[in-house]
Amino acid sequence: MDDKVTIPKLRAMKESGERIAMLTAYDWPTALLLDRAGIDVLLVGDSVGNNILGYESTIPVTMEEMIHHTKAVRRGVKRALLIGDMPFLSYQVSAEQALANAGRFLKEGGADAVKLEGGAEMADIINLLVRRGIPVMGHIGLTPQRAAQLGGLKVQGRDEETAQKLLNDAKILEEAGVFSLVLEAVPWALAKLITERVKIPTIGIGAGPYCDGQVLVVTDMIGLSVGISPKFSKRYTNVAAEIERAAKEFISEVKSGKFPTIEEHSFKISEEVLKKLQ
């Protein structure tokens, strides 16, 4: 397709000032609809753990689960750039393991690229993957896989020391070869400064309006999340309420005998056949 989103196209979008729209997706029908709507980037996030699989966090998510969901999303995508999110301990143990697992996202999952969390400490791994032909999106700021180490799901970069570290991390990851950088839960002025200092596109989530693009978790965006959505998210519709309403109507119609009807929802058999059966 002529309008297929590619990594060079994302770079061109930053240069021209065109904002990048990115969402997560975890299944075929959702991916199909989001791709049809014109989304630029789809991330099969490890957030599948706490949004779809019922885990309390992203930590339990396995490579097998991520490959399974990436393959499903791939079947629905024609236009968007598809990124697979590397789960906890799939890339931190060794360079060899990181390369093998990242390769699985492309070879088995059909992803166009991978995303992994971490700053300067991940530069060598990122550089290895890029040199081996695997495009990498970086992710700094609030990195959910390290939430316990960070003291919870908190905004990062509010003091001089951590803000300077994020600035340094952004430049180091750019030099390591990432094609884009997610900035999560970062003060907007710091995110703006990072966006101005790097040549690669920045994608914000809770990082203010001055990033080159924005990403949301799709279940937050459509109102299907369980519990309280984060402050930085925006609900564009309320799918959860609509599902509950539809389910209640179905239950009521089944119990009252209103559904199914003979004319609208049932199949006929000829009188001749019916007589032979009686």
Whether 184 is catalytic is yes
Could you tell me if 259 and 265 are in contact, meaning their C-beta atoms sit under 8 angstroms apart? Answer: yes
**SS3 assignment, position 205:** strand
Alpha-carbon distance 225 to 264, whole Å?
34
Beta-strand ranges (E) seen in the chain are: 20-24, 41-44, 81-85, 113-115, 136-141, 180-184, 202-205, 213-216
Contact, 199 vs 152, CB < 8 A? no
Instruction: For residue 48, give both structure tokens.
Output: 């599948």
- Write the DSSP symbol of residue 118: B
Catalytic residue among 184, 196, 244, 272: 184
What are the residue numbers of the active site?
A: 184
